[in-house]
Homo-oligomer: A and B are copies of this chain.
């Protein structure tokens, strides 16, 4: 079984609230849920919608086909009607879309009864639950968890009223609920907190603000210093200060804000100070589409910063991966004393999905911080030249009589400015040697689909879900197709690709950008060219259906 419900209207009409109540209720009824959000860069008006998809099998992406449209205005019907399935239902208030063949319900009337106009959408929720014959008490529990006092009560009355307005259509049984429901930004923040991040700073920027906001909301409880800074230039410099002083530190933004951190990224490379930075991508250049999605910052992140220094870039694939990878990023950053860049995007940051609860036992905090034993000779060498390129790190103030000096100029082992040619070469080599360790560290892309496929997809980050759905469907049809889904993307792991490549007839690059950046990277690192590219750059995320269709039309 699988259903897909769209709730649409203007910004400010409360789509998010109702979507949230609906997805949580469905989750607690034991279903897998995937909620997709489409919203404009404005506070009121315009057209926004949420699509709540649910099933008894795990979901990885959204779907275009709709079973129910809950329209908060007539525009919603006009815009999405064409996607409604044959037996789909449109519900709306009596006063909307008069004369149209839709299911009119007295939602506003119900809200008037409880004297709170805002809850008319909750009445709609009641109606939707009734369509599936789901028990009301679960929704009431959700409402009580999300609201309190009078507001909870009026919402409960509204949901009950809505429940009465309509009959059961598709009776569903509830199941055992073992999952959590979470979005990508929350997952990243949870990963950071689990990893012991004690300093997060940032400047608001859609779609990355959710990370900042979640961290701030747990600041007190978890003892995390969360700073809204004056600009993004300050952000990374500040995080580096905090990290130098010894706490795990992170900052993040979207592409435009990240662009302002580029100089400090190079500083991180030079002072070999660990830091984690997330770029939650949105369509660019410049301001672009603030509330929409794209994957066009890959090459930018790999090469950001003047000069040469090792870094790691990790693309997050879904909210489960996002959690573990974020936590891992802190370990790698500290192990190699480098910046680790995480890449997310608006799609991943905003969609919510049911996944199994995080296993906090799997999160290991490995800090690689030394004590007095690291001091050889009289004065501590922060940049001691070692075989691995990594120098033992002590923290300022933590070893009596020893000081820690880091320097953005080229420096000697103690951190003092040097202009020597030999020391320069030694220091460049030292820093670059970390890449060798890092190459051992990187994980090969996930493989999904038929083993040793004739058609091999390469993709990265958030397209994972849609690609997975498409591959599974095609495999179901007997088509020999698989996909490598890159998470660790710089340095680029190429072993699996080289293993599979000899049998591959078509190599298909699937990305949310206009130039095929992963393809360019594979050309560079593996001297292999993709035979096909499926690119999308209209700001809307690929769905599994779309990839399936385009593969059929353009490749297979």
A residues neighboring B (CB under 8 Å): 40-41, 46, 233, 254-256, 258-260, 262-263, 266-267, 269-271, 281, 283-292, 294, 296-297, 299-300, 302-309, 407-410, 419, 421-422, 424-425, 428-429, 432, 513-515, 520-521, 523-525, 527, 529, 537-540
**Contact of B300 with A538 in the complex, beta carbons under 8 Å:** no
**Contact of B258 with A260 in the complex, beta carbons under 8 Å:** no
User: Which residue of B has the minimal Cβ distance to A41?
Assistant: B419
7 pairs of A and B residues whose beta carbons are closest in the complex: A284-B307, A255-B306, A270-B286, A259-B263, A286-B408, A285-B307, A421-B538
Given contacts A259-B305, A307-B255, contact A269 B286 (CB under 8 A): yes
Contacts of A514 in B (CB 8 A): 308, 428-429, 432
Contacts of A259 in B (CB 8 A): 262-263, 266, 305-306
Alpha-carbon gap, A514 to B410, bound state (A):
15
Alpha-carbon gap, A77 to B263, bound state (A):
39
User: Which residue of B has the minimal Cβ distance to A289?
Assistant: B410
**Contact of A260 with B286 in the complex, beta carbons under 8 Å:** no
Contacts of A290 in B (CB 8 A): 409
**Contact of A309 with B289 in the complex, beta carbons under 8 Å:** no
Contacts of A425 in B (CB 8 A): 537-538
Contacts of A305 in B (CB 8 A): 259, 284-285, 300
**Contact of A409 with B288 in the complex, beta carbons under 8 Å:** yes
**Contact of A306 with B256 in the complex, beta carbons under 8 Å:** yes
Interface centre among A267, A290, A307, A409 (most CB of B within 10 A): A307
- Besides A288-B410, A299-B303, A304-B304, 14 more A-B contacts (Cβ < 8 Å) are A46-B419, A266-B284, A285-B305, A285-B307, A285-B309, A286-B408, A297-B307, A300-B305, A303-B303, A419-B539, A421-B539, A432-B514, A432-B515, A524-B524
Alpha-carbon gap, A269 to B421, bound state (A):
38
Expressed in whole angstroms, the minimum distance between the Cβ of A38 and any Cβ of chain B is 10
Contacts of A292 in B (CB 8 A): 419
Contacts of A40 in B (CB 8 A): 419
**Contact of B527 with A523 in the complex, beta carbons under 8 Å:** yes
Contacts of A537 in B (CB 8 A): 308, 424-425, 428
Contact of A308 among B284, B429, B529, B539 (CB under 8 A): B284
Contacts of A428 in B (CB 8 A): 514, 537
Contacts of A407 in B (CB 8 A): 287
Write 19 A-B pairs (CB below 8 A) sorted by A numbering: A256-B263, A256-B266, A258-B306, A263-B286, A267-B285, A270-B286, A270-B287, A271-B286, A284-B305, A285-B308, A289-B409, A289-B410, A297-B307, A303-B303, A308-B514, A419-B539, A424-B538, A424-B539, A432-B514
Contacts of A271 in B (CB 8 A): 286
